[in-house]
Structure 1
Amino acid sequence: MNKPHDPKADNQAKTLYGSDIIADALREQDFPYICLNPGASYRGLHDSLVNYLGNETPQIITCMHEEHAVGIAQGYAKVTDKALAVAVHSNVGLMHASMGIFNAWCDRIPMVVIGATGPIDAAKRRPWIEWIHTTTDQAEIVRGYTKWDDQPGSPEAAVETIRRGTQLANTRPMGPVYLTMDVSIQEQELTERPQFDPIEKFRTPENPEPPAGALEAAIDILAKAERPFIFCGRSSRCEKAWAERIELAEILNARTCAHMKLPAGFPTTHPAFIGETGWRLKGKVLEAIENADAVLMLDWLDAGNALKLAFPQGKPRPPVITVSNDFQIHRGWNMDYGGLPAVDVNIPTVPETAVTRLLEGLRPLRKKPAPAAKRVWKATAPAKSGPIGLMDLAHAFSLASEGRKITITGRPLGWPTNANVIEHPFDFLGHTGGGGLGAGPSIAVGAALGLREIGSDRLTVAILGDGDYTMGLTSIWNAATEKLPLLFLVANNHSYYNDEEHQIKVAHKRARPEENAPIGQRMQGPEPDLGALARGLGLEAPEPVTDLADLPAALEQALDRVAAGAAVVLDVRVKQEYIHAPMQEFD
């Protein structure tokens, strides 16, 4: 993006400003990018990024909306497990960004959000505009869903703020931080360059080791278990940790499940895997849990309510081991922490560290069985012609993506469970976190950016509902500006269908006509032309797919174009329905 011809080296003998010091503090964190929508409250920092640093490390990614800037940072961190920098303009930009920050908070995603404000010193404010853009305690807007916030009073203090904020954001349980930079400290002239301790002195701390007593108790329970069950919850994208989770399941002869709203936790083709689940435990997943003689919960989302659903009061329950340090950031503003789990052993660290130590204790006690054959994935070609259902789309996508290295950044509500082959931690990156509609497109852009940053040749695919796509639409422009290979596969039912289902349920309960459920829900009269919108933003978009007969070829062609480096939007017209069933059934 537009690198100036004469960066930092030409500025050494000239006046130094506070924002130059702040820019240096961002560079030393090795942020490759800073996502932003321009704003006057950080005009000084913007100048420093461009004319002092030369628009390199970090490089500016110009976004059309602050919420998209945050979403791109969220998608990037879903791949890299590292915070990216974001800048938002004053109170108005922060209010735009707040939904994205809430998503990142619920998703336990790190990011460093640089905010700004008009001068706190009223004597320095420009009339009107800097008065409405100056807020006392601006961070209060997002304090309930950030790990930390600060408003330093000098450029020197801003360096410590960025160092502390980045360290906190990247320490698990991870989350966003919000750092407010007063216009005055950005534009302050400095007579000499401040001196600081080297950045190497401020590394992110390592994850804590499990307490010896709790670890010993967990090993004792698992060593004796014959039918253990493992809830594979929040985890990093580390391949070593992925392999160790598989080894733990094999050594225990355990059954496992993964959460459909979390990034990939266990391979769906492994014989230990029973299925994906949300908060509704049912079918073979519930049967396996009920049949277990030990339960291990690896940072499971809403562990307390999962246990209540599986083992209601008065029902016999096996010993339960939980591994999580999520409690360290539970706050009072929102109840994203879920129910309080009743457990027998509590290991307060991250799953990766705990699994390593559990394996060290269990290997001498339990013999690892011979490797089992992978499950054969069953996807069937759709019928020759006719309207397209969500299950049809899931089967067709499974067939079209076979043999390709694909990262799925999200799936729409109503998508069937067990519908995607997941054999690597990058195969599926989970949900938006906070359920914020409109985040799917920008998260996909960020994920593609992260994959490029780590040198991956994977294809990025966002399977979106049309509501998510249209609400987050302008963020797809960044797929074009950054030349990212990316497929936006839109399951387009012309409706905010989740609420249609709610209206049907309300109508049944109140004995009112369910045929009125679509009123106020449909995107019709006229229907938005999703392909035309995409082409106007610089992406490729073939004609909409309306018939089953055309679906396989359209998916193959779209994936081929992405493999060739293109950003593509494929509009697939689907029935108004949700699939309340798995695509694959596992024993």
Structure 2
Amino acid sequence: MARKISAPKVDRRNFLKGVAVAGAAAGAVAPGAANALPAAGAEPARIPSVLPPSARTIAAETAMPEKELNRIGGKAGSDFMVDVIKTLDIKYLPANCASSYRGIHESLIDYGQNKMPEFLTCMHEESAVAMCHGYFKVTGKPLMTLVHGTVGLMHATMSIYNAWCDRVPVIVMGGNDMDAAHRPPGVPTFHSAQDINAIVRDYTKWDDTPVSLQHFAQSFVRGYKIAMTPPYGPVMISLDAGLQQEPMHPRPGEATPSIPKYTPTSPPAGEMGAVRDAAKLLANAERPVIVVDRAARTENGVRLLVQLAEALQARVVDLGNRMNFPRTHHLVSGPPAVANADVILGLELSDFWAVMNSYVDNGDEGIGFNQTRIKAGMKLISINSVELITKANYQDFQRFQPVDIAMAADAEATLPALIEAVKSAIPNDRKDAIAKRGEAAKKARDEAHTRTLQAAAIAWDASPISTARLVMETWNQIKNEDWSLVASEGNVSNWPARLWPMEKYHHWLGRSGGYGVGYGAPASIGAALANRDLGRFSVSIQSDGDLMFAPGVLWTAAKHKIPLLAVMHNNRGYHQELMHVQRMASFRNRVASIGNDLGPIGTSIMNPDIEYHKLAESMGWWAKGPIKDPEQLGPAIKEAVAAVKSGQPALVNVWTQPR
């Protein structure tokens, strides 16, 4: 579309004359004035500018109405966009600045007064999206971000993919300059495309390219609505530069653009016939097991899952991508419970096949060896909303697992009906057996917890510090706070879930979704931002390799005063990849023939060792380290907790065992 810029309603000659006079006055300095000192108590003299005053300054000094200096001849299109955005109560907008969305950027901070949303300065688009990701998992409310054309969106793609796999809504808007007849040459053209949304179309729920302001209003509200309908997911809107910068003029015969009303869509619940069939199987099972992945979307989802499990006294295997079930509950169980089950209920499982099969990547049996856990007569029930948005290209839907009852529905929305159906389906003569099942589960839980404590004590005094001690020394310093573990990147043998009394939904926010390295630091900071507003204490177990993908997010946390305790799991390497190489070398008999382990080549983060505490300090964090003596770990974390409680982000750099 052509950009028609209305001429300013200002006499150009008089305007320039005023600038010249003002500039001359600014340049005139009395003899000796440059060296004069202000009297005691007086304000220092203003140093005159060599630049002419801005139009805003002239308007103030001449009492000229500022609106008359509006060069576009009306309300900017991006001002209307801000009006639309404000109706949805989006609190923050983390983004890396860019020329392709300068129109809406200016409108957000000037016209919108930098409130609802507040612009948060990020060093990288991947970090900005991951901050949105972490924020949502605390609040249940999405944030939006802005990216720069092709290159900014390319930077953001890993975090968008994580959000897609983790079923998290993020509103992404990308600046683009679509009109080639008016597009500036050079960089703006390099960074434009016919269809920037194509970059992320395979891993977003929906996308659009508005061509008018009314179209934008409808697209933004629609996009928000789609993102916030379970299963959640990111959406993408391409934002034309001309549409942002042109004045808001309706087409001939059209009304002034309006803002549609947002009405949330009810999540899809399971069909009642299927719910009753599932309830009958569960109620009559001898050894029912519930396996959960992203079943709980809210605190209420945790309560509902407890009700279902207790009605059946069924073991619960929580795969950990959300805080689905209290870790202190007597029905908590590990994956081995699956092998003895006669009925398995899978709720929002990202990989049902992996639950039912053990798989060895490259072990003694060979590469890709697997063994099934399915026994004769075992019944499988699946309630999974992700079936409603499965796409073809990216393989996040995992391997195919046949089941006996399949509901393409939101698990949390289906739980109330399933609970009532289960209670109605339990025969009176089975209630005693169900109660005894619960007693056996409690005994097994107590025995497993004792074994876990014994395992955690191994190498307690070792240096580098064991991951169990790292986790428990952290817990000992935060246990009296209203804490939230916002991320645990790197493999610390799942000690937080095994040892910490996780009971509330915000106690554990889950993993990245797509397992993209670089999620932990920015997602932790986004979650800590949400927890700051809610008065909670945020802590993350931060791995070294993850932090180095985009360490600039540390500055964002300090800049915007986001308190977070980051305890480094600094094992000085990409240990998982090291083990892959070592296992492959062993499978191929390389070690025996060469005589030494070359696995650290390409996987080690040593020589030089990265001083993460100094990196954090340079960006405004309280930091300490490297901590190598386990006796020094507790006191160091205690100091860091005090810094966080004062409102400052803090990092403790801890040298640790590999996992």
Q: Same fold (TM over 0.5)?
A: yes
Q: Distance in 1 between matches of 2:526 and 2:111?
A: 26
In the TM superposition, residue 246 of structure 1 has moved relative to its aligned partner by: 0.8
In the TM superposition, residue 312 of structure 1 has moved relative to its aligned partner by: 2.5
2:16 aligned partner: none
1:518 aligned partner: 600
Give 1:179-198 correspondences, 5 Å limit.
179-191=237-249, 195=256
1:437 aligns with 2:486: no
1:304 aligned partner: 353
In the TM superposition, residue 96 of structure 1 has moved relative to its aligned partner by: 0.8
Deviations 1:141-198 (A, max 9, x none): 1111111111111122111110111111111111111100111111111246964566
Give 1:101-500 correspondences, 5 Å limit.
101-118=160-177, 120-191=178-249, 195=256, 199-200=260-261, 202-260=262-320, 262-275=321-334, 285-286=335-336, 288-309=337-358, 312=372, 315-366=375-426, 378=453, 383-384=460-461, 386-417=463-494, 418-453=498-533, 455=534, 457-500=535-578
Structure 1 residues 19 and 236, CA gap change in structure 2 (3 angstroms) = farther
1:280 aligned partner: none
Q: Distance in 1 between matches of 2:505 and 2:126?
A: 26
Bigger Rg, structure 1 or 2:
2
Q: Distance in 2 between matches of 1:36 and 1:65?
A: 8
**Secondary structure at the residue paired with 1:304?**
helix
Which residue identity lines up with residue 425 of structure 1 in the other structure? Y
In the TM superposition, residue 68 of structure 1 has moved relative to its aligned partner by: 0.8
1:572 aligns with 2:650: no
1:583 aligned partner: none
In the TM superposition, residue 247 of structure 1 has moved relative to its aligned partner by: 1.4
1:479–1:567 Cα contact (<8 Å) kept: yes
Q: Distance in 1 between matches of 2:165 and 2:462?
A: 41
Deviations 1:552-578 (A, max 9, x none): 222233223323322101100012x23
Q: Distance in 2 between matches of 1:498 and 1:144?
A: 28
Q: Distance in 1 between matches of 2:115 and 2:264?
A: 23
Moved more, 300-309 or 542-551: 300-309
**Secondary structure at the residue paired with 2:590?**
coil
Structure 1 residues 475 and 194, CA gap change in structure 2 (3 angstroms) = farther
In the TM superposition, residue 125 of structure 1 has moved relative to its aligned partner by: 1.2
**TM-score where L is the length of structure 2:** 0.80
2:297–2:412 Cα contact (<8 Å) kept: no
Q: Distance in 2 between matches of 1:107 and 1:158?
A: 27
Deviations 1:383-428 (A, max 9, x none): 4564312233233334334333221122233222324331111111
1:250–1:369 Cα contact (<8 Å) kept: no
In the TM superposition, residue 356 of structure 1 has moved relative to its aligned partner by: 0.9
2:540–2:565 Cα contact (<8 Å) kept: yes
**Secondary structure at the residue paired with 1:16?**
coil
Structure 1 residues 384 and 303, CA gap change in structure 2 (3 angstroms) = closer
Q: Distance in 2 between matches of 1:229 and 1:313?
A: 13
Q: Distance in 1 between matches of 2:458 and 2:576?
A: 27
In the TM superposition, residue 364 of structure 1 has moved relative to its aligned partner by: 4.0
In the TM superposition, residue 290 of structure 1 has moved relative to its aligned partner by: 1.7
Q: Which runs of 5+ in 2 are unaligned?
A: 1-55, 57-64, 360-370
1:278 aligned partner: none
Q: Distance in 1 between matches of 2:69 and 2:170?
A: 33
Structure 1 residues 422 and 128, CA gap change in structure 2 (3 angstroms) = same
1:347–1:354 Cα contact (<8 Å) kept: no
1:405–1:459 Cα contact (<8 Å) kept: yes
Q: Percent identity?
A: 31
**Secondary structure at the residue paired with 2:552?**
helix
2:339–2:373 Cα contact (<8 Å) kept: no
Deviations 1:473-502 (A, max 9, x none): 111222212212211111111112221111
**Secondary structure at the residue paired with 1:336?**
coil
In the TM superposition, residue 320 of structure 1 has moved relative to its aligned partner by: 1.3
Which residue identity lines up with residue 22 of structure 1 in the other structure? M
When the two chains are superposed, the root-mean-square deviation of aligned CA atoms in Å is 2.7
In the TM superposition, residue 546 of structure 1 has moved relative to its aligned partner by: 0.5
1:25 aligns with 2:84: yes
Structure 1 residues 64 and 392, CA gap change in structure 2 (3 angstroms) = same
1:305–1:340 Cα contact (<8 Å) kept: no
1:237–1:426 Cα contact (<8 Å) kept: no
Which residue identity lines up with residue 469 of structure 1 in the other structure? L
Deviations 1:245-293 (A, max 9, x none): 1111111010011113x02111111110013xxxxxxxxx22x212112
2:489–2:520 Cα contact (<8 Å) kept: no
2:338–2:373 Cα contact (<8 Å) kept: no
In the TM superposition, residue 333 of structure 1 has moved relative to its aligned partner by: 1.6
Structure 1 residues 395 and 380, CA gap change in structure 2 (3 angstroms) = farther
1:82–1:111 Cα contact (<8 Å) kept: no
Q: Which has the higher contact order (CA 8 A, sep 6+)?
A: 1
In the TM superposition, residue 309 of structure 1 has moved relative to its aligned partner by: 4.0
Structure 1 residues 204 and 489, CA gap change in structure 2 (3 angstroms) = same
1:91 aligns with 2:150: yes
1:528 aligns with 2:607: no
2:121 aligned partner: 62
Moved more, 547-556 or 156-165: 547-556
Moved more, 420-429 or 533-542: 420-429
Q: Distance in 1 between matches of 2:68 and 2:111?
A: 9
1:106–1:433 Cα contact (<8 Å) kept: yes
Structure 1 residues 194 and 38, CA gap change in structure 2 (3 angstroms) = farther
Structure 1 residues 472 and 388, CA gap change in structure 2 (3 angstroms) = same
1:448–1:486 Cα contact (<8 Å) kept: yes
1:538 aligned partner: 620
**Secondary structure at the residue paired with 2:207?**
strand
Moved more, 141-150 or 401-410: 401-410
Q: Distance in 2 between matches of 1:505 and 1:263?
A: 31
Q: Distance in 2 between matches of 1:508 and 1:246?
A: 45
Moved more, 502-511 or 394-403: 394-403
Moved more, 417-426 or 63-72: 417-426
Q: Which runs of 5+ in 1 are unaligned?
A: 276-284, 579-587
1:548 aligns with 2:630: yes
Which residue identity lines up with residue 429 of structure 1 in the other structure? L
